[in-house]
Amino acid sequence: MVKILEKFEYPEGLLYSADHLWVKKEDGTVRVGVTDMAQQAAGSILFVRLMPKGRQVESGKPLGTMETGKWVGPLKSPLSGAIVESNDALKTQPKLLNEDPYGKGWLAVVQPSKLDDELKNLMTDQAQIEKFVQTELPKLFKK
C-alpha cells in the first residue's frame, strides 16, 4: 500500500481514473471502486445506487450514484463494457466505501469492451498519481 502525501492510500497494481475510481484487472474482467481520496473527500457515504448486472456502461458515463451528507453525484465508469456484477452489499452497507474502499467497498465488476484503447486514459505511475492528487486537493478539500 502506497501512501500519497502521507494521507491517501493508492495501492500499487491498480489503475486510477481522473474521476477518482480505481480499476483492478481480473480474469477477463475488471473490478471498479472509489479511491481512498474520493471517499475521504465525500465524507460519510449514506447511499449508493449502482447499475444492474447486464447494463452497458461507457467510459466517463455513470455506472451509479453516491450520496453523502454534502454531495450527491455520479460515479463515472473508468471503462466501457457490460456490468457482470454489482456490489449488492452497498445497498444496506454504503459505509463499506468509507471503511474499505479497496476491499469490501468495491462498486462493480465490468466485462470491458474497449480495454486496450481505454487503459491509456488511466494512471498507473506513482509519480503521475501523486501529481494528480496534488492538483485535486484544493478542489476536493476546500478550506
The per-residue pLDDT for range 40-59, each reduced to its tens digit, is: 988 899 999 999 999 999 99
In whole numbers, what is the pLDDT of the chain averaged over residues?
92
Distance in angstroms (rounded) separating the CA atoms of residues 19 and 9:
16
Judge contact between 77 and 50, C-beta under 8 A: no
pLDDT digits (tens, 9 = 90+) for 62-80: 999 999 987 898 999 999 9
User: In sequence order, what are the beta bridge partners of 85?
Assistant: 109
Domain annotation for the chain: domains and CATH numbers:
3-116 (2.40.50.100)
Sign of CA dihedral 18, 22, 25, 27: negative
Question: 117-122: long-range contacts (C-beta < 8 A, 24 or more apart)?
Answer: 118/59, 118/78, 118/79, 118/80, 119/15, 121/17, 121/18, 121/59, 121/78, 122/15, 122/16, 122/17, 122/23, 122/78
% pLDDT > 90, the chain:
73
